[in-house]
Chain A
Amino acid sequence: QMQLQESGPGLVKPSETLSLTCTVSGGSISSGGYYWSWIRQHPGKGLEWMGYNYYSGSTHYNPSLKSRVTISVDTSKNQFSLKLSSVTAADTAVYYCASEGDRGAFDIWGQGTMVTVSS
């Protein structure tokens, strides 16, 4: 069964770039039909979809973040990554990677990683 695992720094300084990686196990990231997404949750708040990289390589981002976010796939490492530039304290959140297998729903999630933006 496919599993996802986030990794990356738990503390990022304001104005810097947040970088996280999601490692896919139990399946191939280059197999067809998956949307590889990042979703975040501010402390005590709801869920916010940030963007996806489709297995074909196309990407789409939340318009509220579009200018700052990049999601890329590394098929050689079976990973996909998130980069969020020019972070502020408002980007402090738990970041989840998740996959959607064209059912319109995220059926596989990582356990989440807390990222704090602070000097």
Chain B
Amino acid sequence: EIVLTQSPATLSLSPGERATLSCRASQSISSYLAWYQQKPGQAPRLLIYDASNRATGIPARFSGSGSGTDFTLTISSLEPEDFAVYYCQQRSNWPPGYTFGQGTKLEIK
């Protein structure tokens, strides 16, 4: 099973700052790497798929990059509504399945 490790566990920043979140896979994965945002009491929302493609309606300040084992979610200038928990997720074709990282909490400094 592929393990995804996110870092840092908690990131404390101020509105307007740039956020860089990391997701590392235990082995090289395909481009099936996605990022989600989750706010308290809500379902996760898809931000990025295929490592770098923004989902429908996602603001341009969110961007994804990376390949192989190292992936990054960048928020260029934090808005107050961006403070939440972020998860990365990968899909394996064989054996079929999905795994999530443990999450990064982005909190207001």
Contact = CB atoms under 8 A, between A and B. Distances in A.
Given A105-B34, A105-B49, A110 B97 contact: no
Contacts, number: 64
A112 B102 contact: no
B60 interface: no
Interface size class of B (residues with CB under 8 A): 20 to 34
A107 B46 contact: yes
A104 B49 contact: yes
Interface residues of A, number: 20
Interface stretch (A16-24, A26-34, A42-50, A67-75): A42-50
B96 to A, nearest CB: 4
A96 to B, nearest CB: 6
A105 B89 contact: yes
B1 interface: yes
Contacts of B97: 49, 60, 62-63
Given A104-B32, A104-B34, A105-B32, A49 B49 contact: no
Interface of B: 1, 30-34, 36, 42-46, 48-50, 55-56, 87, 89-91, 95-103
Interface of A: 37, 46-49, 52, 60, 62-63, 96, 100, 103-107, 109-112
